[in-house]
Amino acid sequence: MKIVILDGHALNPGDLSWQGFEKLGDVTCYPRTPDEKIVERIGNAEILIVNKKTIDGSIMDKCPALRYIGVLATGYNIIDTEAAKKRNITVTNIPSYSTAAVSQAVFAFLLEFANGVHEHNQSVMSGDWCKAQDFCYWTHPMTELNGKTLGIAGFGSIGQQVAKTALAFGMNVIAFTRTAEKIASFNEKYRTLKDDGTLPVKPVTKDELFMQSDFLTLHCPLTEQTKGLVNAQTLSLMKPEAVLINTSRGPVVDEFAVRKALDENKLGGFACDVISAEPMRADNVLLGAPRCIITPHVAWAARETRQRLMDIAVSNLKAFLDGKPQNTV
């Protein structure tokens, strides 16, 4: 069984092992693959493992031995799944591997806006405290999370973990989702987290989500319905001091509208780990934006998280080879 990994570096820059795949077949791993080399490198492989390289019907036609495509991510929009289905190619993804890591990243962003730890540290290290007349000072407006409203767009596993963490901080949590039963199920399970008789998570409409949130975090998949969910109109509903956080997919946000809102002081802050085109382009409108924090798609990158992804990817392939495919899309 020939297994080709087209872009393995992001998952495994050298601190993990491909041994799990090597036990299942003859593995050829490329750290990165330019688009023009995709077909050549897949060749006559039956198994393709891929992270971010786009695989469409034309590539499948040129690689007729392909029987399985394993995506090293939760999102699988890089694969033409309809083309794969027509060619009897099984496609799998990795669900729920990054729940803990991404929810942790959300609160790293949220706490930076609330406390300004990095900004205060930079001030101290530059000597400002040594020159201060008083025993303390602050360069960043600080706020308590207790009592603030956290809005969550999308209520899958990550959205639910974020809600649990927010409740532990004493925040009021509201959520907008197309699957309202997930909120009801969460509330039934975690109703004891609120001692005032209110629901742990209050379901709201989309407009209510934008209007009521002090902090709004996005956890919805990228679909035709969610593309541009955050735009000039929805941003106009937000409190001018509110903070928006995106760890879902870049195109869920209209970056031009966000930059305009930041420049005009109509949005308190924006943080994201994803961008419309990755790697980020030098002309991206968010570069240099005020009150804006951007990390390079690393919310998933803790070693423990990547190891979990690797383990699930191997399990997916083994299940396929055993005739019992799992996590198919």
Q: Can you name the residues that pair with 47 across neighbouring β-strands?
A: 3, 68
Q: DSSP letters of 244-267?
A: EEE-S-GGGB-HHHHHHHHHTT-S
CB 192 within 8 A of CB 183: no
Q: DSSP letters of 170-229?
A: T-EEEEE-S-HHHHHHHHHHHGGG-SSSS-SEEE--HHHHHHH-SEEEE-----TTTTT-
CB 213 within 8 A of CB 241: no
Catalytic residue at 306?
no
The conformation of residue 153, written as its DSSP 8-state character, comes to: E
Residues 6+ apart with CB under 8 A from 172: 147, 148, 149, 150, 202
Among 289, 209, 284, 219, CA closest to 252: 219
CB 249 within 8 A of CB 274: yes
Catalytic residue at 9?
no
The catalytic residue among 22, 144, 241, 278 is 278
Residues 6+ apart with CB under 8 A from 228: 251, 252, 253, 254
Residues 6+ apart with CB under 8 A from 20: 310, 311, 313, 314
Residues 6+ apart with CB under 8 A from 101: 299, 300, 301, 302, 304, 305
The catalytic residue among 219, 249, 306, 308 is 249
Pairing of strands 2-5, 26-29: parallel
The catalytic residue among 219, 297, 306, 308 is 297
Exposed / middle / buried, residue 219 (Cβ in 10 Å: 0-12, 13-18, 19+): buried
- Catalytically active residues are 249, 278, 297
